[in-house]
């Protein structure tokens, strides 16, 4: 699908493809939410940039709001809603309707399945913001059309440092699992995430 096709699809049409469901937490270990809004020229997606942390395998990466299932979460939908509030301050009352269950996708790097939900921010919804600087560094909106553009960017992958397929917007680099989830959601062709050779480590400089 071309970028023009992305611009032409209303948010409601995108969401109506999926049911309102509360799948059990037994089918996945985490949940994320694709939050949409109608931008000036196109649909936009809410993304976060994770805070730098030596204990977080997704440290510094661009991601969808979400996280691991916690004890007491009655369903994956509860997990998604809880993480949405904890990370960007959006509650159910900020959304235009219920969360839609999109699918469950395997995240090989994190060795778990992730439940993917989608929703539209409501006309009276509060602006998303960083709720915990220990988890989230930035919150921003990505034009969906940016997903149709592919660049090769060097990143550390499960195979080592390699060139990967990425979308870049205003300095934010989207690649890997989150980019794959969003390209599937917008019916864009799937790409190999690693598109270049595994890069050798930089040689040590002589002392």
- Which residue ranges form the domains of the chain, and what is each CATH number? 3-147 (3.90.79.10)
User: pLDDT at residue 207 above 50?
Assistant: no
200's CB contacts (< 8 A; 6+ apart) are none
CB 3 within 8 A of CB 89: no
Cα four-point dihedral sign 33, 97, 91, 126 = positive
- How far is Cα 21 from Cα 23, in angstroms, rounded to an integer? 6
User: pLDDT at residue 27 above 80?
Assistant: yes
User: pLDDT at residue 4 above 50?
Assistant: no
pTM: 0.88
CB 96 within 8 A of CB 55: no
User: pLDDT at residue 201 above 70?
Assistant: no
Find residue 140's DSSP bridge partners.
47
CB 88 within 8 A of CB 175: no
Start-to-end CA distance of the chain, whole Å, equals 53
Radius of gyration of the chain (CA): 17
Q: What's the whole-number mean pLDDT along residues 54-74?
A: 87
- How far is Cα 47 from Cα 62, in angstroms, rounded to an integer? 7
């Amino acid at each position: 699908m071309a970028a023009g096709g992305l611009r032409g699809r209303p948010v409601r049409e995108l969401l109506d493809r999926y049911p309102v469901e509360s799948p059990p937490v037994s089918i996945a270990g985490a949940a994320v939410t694709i939050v949409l809004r109608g931008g000036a020229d196109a649909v936009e997606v809410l993304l976060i940039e994770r805070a730098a942390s030596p204990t977080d395998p997704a440290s510094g990466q661009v991601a969808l709001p979400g996280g691991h299932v916690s004890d007491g979460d009655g369903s994956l939908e509860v997990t998604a809603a809880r993480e949405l509030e904890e990370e960007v301050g959006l509650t159910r009352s900020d959304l235009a309707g219920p969360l839609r269950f999109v699918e469950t996708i395997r995240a090989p790097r994190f060795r778990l399945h992730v439940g993917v939900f989608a929703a539209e921010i409501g006309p009276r919804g509060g602006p998303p913001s960083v709720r915990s600087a220990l988890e989230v560094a930035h919150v921003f909106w990505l034009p969906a059309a940016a997903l149709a553009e592919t660049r090769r960017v060097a990143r550390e992958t499960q195979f080592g440092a390699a060139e990967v397929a990425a979308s870049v917007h205003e300095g934010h680099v989207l690649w890997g699992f989150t980019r794959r989830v969003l390209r599937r959601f917008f019916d864009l062709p799937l790409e190999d995430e690693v598109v270049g050779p595994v890069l050798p480590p930089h040689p040590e400089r002589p002392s």
